[in-house]
A and B are shown apart, each in its own frame.
Chain A
Amino acid sequence: MSTVDAPRRPRGDDDPRRIRAVAHVGAAAGAAFATCFLTGLISHFLQHPTSWFAWPTHPVWLFRLTQGLHVATGFVAVPLVLVKLGLVYRRLFVRPPLHSVRLLVGHLLERVSIGVLVGACLFQLVTGVMNVAQWYPWPFFFPDVHYAVAYLAIGALAVHIAVKLPLAQRYWHAPPAPVDTSSPLVDRRTAVTAAAAAAGVVAVGIAGQSVTPLRPFAFLSPRSGRGPQRLPVNRTAVQAGIAAAALDPDYRLTIAGPDGATRAWSLAELRDLPQTTATLPIACVEGWSVGAEWTGVRLSDLLRAAGTTTSTDVRVVSLEPVGGYRTSVLPAGFVADDSTLLALRLNGDVLDLDHGYPCRLIAPNRPGVLQTKWVGRIEVLP
């Protein structure tokens, strides 16, 4: 062990092998954040539709993939960021260059930008991981804040990459020879191996919440993937306070046309209409997804029976009296899709109360939170 007592280099961070390790682990963390950001944008614009964001109805598994990736890359980013920050931690204690105002200003600017970068990235990881487990010990609305801070994190990351690109490029491949025996507490290969191994272990721990065959191994997933009728529940009937309204024998599904004319169906009448079966996943914004077989009335058939158009957006309204997700707007392309149903049955049985009895919306390739449950009213928008 000749390494402990070796003389210190004046500036340990100039150790090329450390810079190389930082570049490699940093690139992986950056890729994880970029994937997380882009997939997060998809989820955001599905929940806040804008005219320029068109999302297809097929393939039906696309949102399942993007949102599964969103949560998985966020989880995997945790060990990558930990190792990355560990490798550069000593930079926190670099003495400011007090002999030159110009250098000092640059130094302080870098400190502030790194502070924003680290603060925003850790905030995104912490709040995201807690949200997936439905833990909200804060007064703000998670989606709005997670969305806003995402721009801060990705912006600070882009600036950071712009600043560090030449350094990373210079040391990306085999570094020049001199072996610095003083600085690293761990060597480059150990750091990269640790980052890769921990990322792999975390990936196995979370991927199974979206990739069904890996489900038994998903030791970090907040859900087992089981539930009533072999499907987990994001928000139960008890949580929604919906049981009385949903079980009311006088239940009617009302369709309101763009002119305000309404027509109503009882549950028995809905069951008498032609039934369609579709295999579609519930893909939750929290990352979990499970495929299921749904049977019910095709939405476009129902709109035609109501004598109204199938070529405009519709608003689907739940029986829930309150709640941020009691309504959802279904874009015209999804309204017309043959696999978009008002489901009455799930995996062969009458829809469970927790899954939206008496009837729920199920459309392809959308966030589960927009697959409105306990539907009471459908408004055809002009």
Chain B
Amino acid sequence: MLPGLSFRHRPCRARAWRGVAIAAGALAGILLATSSAHAQAAPPAGHQDEAFDFMNLLAHHDLHDISQESWNAYGQFTSIEQWKPAFSARYSGEQSLGTAAEGSFTETATLFFGLRLWHGGEAYFVPEVISELPLSGLHGIGGAIQNFELQKTGSETPQLYRSRTYLRQTFGLGGGPEEKESDPMQLGTKVDKRRIVFTVGNFTILDVFDRNSISWDPRQTFLNMAFMTYASWDFPSDARGYSWGGAEELYWDSWVFRLARITPPQRPNQLPLDLRLWEFYGDNVEIEHDHTIRGQAGAVRLLGYRNRVDTGRFADAIAAFQGNQQENARSCGPRSDYLANPNAPDLCWVRKPNVKLGIGLSVEQHFTEDIGVFARGMFSDGQSEVDAFNAADRSFSVGAVAKGSAWKRSFDVTGVGFGMSWISSIHAQYLAMGGVDGFLGDGNLRQAAEGVVEGFYSVNLLDAIWVTADYQFLWNPGYNADRGPVNIFGGRVHAEF
């Protein structure tokens, strides 16, 4: 959500009942959903203050102190439908984006519970239902997967799971008060501008790091993951995008320093997590500086990560294959997590503790209260396979998001973005030999940068519902100049309560 718009309204009775109906429908959706499910790991955007939600309704009736909350509860429902017309390709492999026309969807319903435990102590619990159908089994696209809600373990059968359970403890260090508004996973309260915040439990690293205020929630702005965070940030997590671990944040005036250690998956891109944090882990460091230019807010963030995880290096896989061609994917047996090409190297032969490094820079700046731009770029070493996120080794994205105040539709949101991602030369050589990784495997490769342009317009209805039309244009899907381009048309319905 863009900061700036901040005005609370007095919900009239009709709006309240409309909201109750929305909430009841969404709650029923959570518990009784019968279509597909897949969930994203991005943190929820803040509620627009004028939109309907239960906490505002209770506060309006003097039943809840929304500025100093002991508890809160929010919810959301999002349905995303996408369709890809047929496109041309010189060849396809076992893990290619299919060339035939194809549909995809995700549906999620989420409840966000927050509870104050003691002074500075907060607990959050977030159950979620997800149902999903990815394009081509989530194969064939590198850093520009068309819907960030998609999960690697999703199915069309709705799955109820616990996305987050964590504790947050804040220690004030002075510097004056700062108001934290009531939102999903944020109790309304006042904190010191200088403070230390500890987060421990089961969460996604995106709940703490890369908190870009313009584009990070596929339920409200862009759909493509290229614009949600760094596409080449291989942060350890389970196949849904969540981890166990701890994070520490130091807020000191306009500076924020963040550290975190989180659990990786036991095997790349799978759901089970390795809880041996002393042996396998993802370490993340971020420095943020907030500023204003001509009265408009902006921020610069520098992020670095170092993973020590059980993965395979592309060079090792190629060397193993060239040394003994019987050690191919088909002969890996139960050790192979991906589809198998019997005439190609496979990472399953060479998995061992490896280190992966990356560094990224993110910039955001508001031009007016309602218009903001952002840019992110990251460079990862690209020597080893993707462990948890997606098949990109370098990435860059830029975009702009605006609210519709200028045309008297202040709840409407529109945006346009451009993203590029690349893979390392050794990664490309591995794919060109017919190798497969967690997402890619065309059987061959004519290396090129993968690119995407996305535009969307989101219309607000009934204060708490947004209906979105979205278009994406992808070229060189899977970093392969012999495939594509691809058009993807999408629609989204999102409700909050």
A binds B: no
A interface residues with partner B (beta carbon < 8 Å) = none
